[in-house]
Structure 1
Amino acid sequence: MTAGAAPVLLATGLLREARILAGPGVTVVAGGGDHARLEAALDRLAPGARGILSIGIAGALAPGLRPGDWVVADNGTDPGWATRLAALLPGARSGPILGMEAMVAEAAGKAALHRETGALAVDMESHVAARVARRHNLPFAAARAISDAADRSLPPAARVGMRPDGGMDLPAVLRDLARDPRQIPALIRTGWEAERGFRALLRGRDRLGPGLAAP
């Protein structure tokens, strides 16, 4: 990216993702599951951006995708940007990424969405980022590292762990564990698998470099 070029606007969910992605040539917004706040922030920053990229971790909808795998969206994205992302991210699969208003936590729900839409992965930011990009006539792309496989159901404690600012709501997690300690093994497994997604995100960020392969 040349000196003085406009930054790429990154849409993600968690503060941890934002910390991983922060660096030269980008401005990161963590939505924290608050779609209205995410959209308002992206709208405010879009006039000074060269493109919008939805990037972070995601749940798999397609069988065969495992934690740490990459999916690059081919639905409604800038073709050149998507091609560069797929070439640079190791082993990336190209296909639709579905953005949803609510977390898709049950394996049965993931399977149903895959049958209905053909999407490979699901997140909570890509649809918002795409909408803002269209409104501002900016290039859009989406790339997501898988954190939970299609056949995994997230334990209830994992579903309450995100604050609206994208941080970790540890008290909410502990309260849920106190109500049902039997979910502790599943929560530990979920944490380890999510860690593989975060590590893949870090490696991918380094491979893409400043500007994250944007036009």
Structure 2
Amino acid sequence: MDVRSIRLLLMSFTALVVSVGAVAQQGPIIEPNLERRDIREADIDSENVEIGVFAGQVSIEDFSSSSIVGVSLGYHITENIFVEATYAQADAGETSFEILSGGAPFLTEEEREYRYYDLSVGYNFNGELFVTQNTVFNTDFFVTVGGGSTDFGGESQFTLSLGAGYRVLITDYFALRLDVRDRIFNSEIIGEEKDTHNIQYTLGATYFF
């Protein structure tokens, strides 16, 4: 290699070093511009016991709708599976025949007392509810199945309970719930023995501890 070739090689290497140094002094070509959001997300407290109160309407088959109130006590075995005991009471209204005929009532005032207790197993489908850009609540859509007893019309009947609901975790220990239940039991109050469907809609508040 002659002197002229060596000189050209040195000049090319020098130009490359100068170019790399200039790029390094300019800093990164792309600078990320990320805005982080502070998201408020309530979660279930570390305790697994859930106690609550609820109120709403129950439609007792063959009788008019009535107000109902009750209490519940649940235990969350896992994040998705829970067991729950409930107790509630209402005063049944009149049948269509009683209303139209104005005749003697089918039931006494004491027999119109509608009370039940049951034990159910439930399964949670976890989700989230976005209220604002920075506020999100954990939620559960759940289904339940269970059994218990209903006192109505002077009799106690085994009752199958089927239901579904929606729970919103407002804080780590406080939640609001919307529940729908169908309690099915055998009845012959109006003369015909049959399985009655008694639909219940309630709104409740629960506390975790």
TM range (shorter): under 0.3
Which is strand-richer, 1 or 2?
2
Task: Please say which structure displays the higher CA radius of gyration.
Answer: 2
Which is helix-richer, 1 or 2?
1
TM-score when normalising by structure 1: 0.21
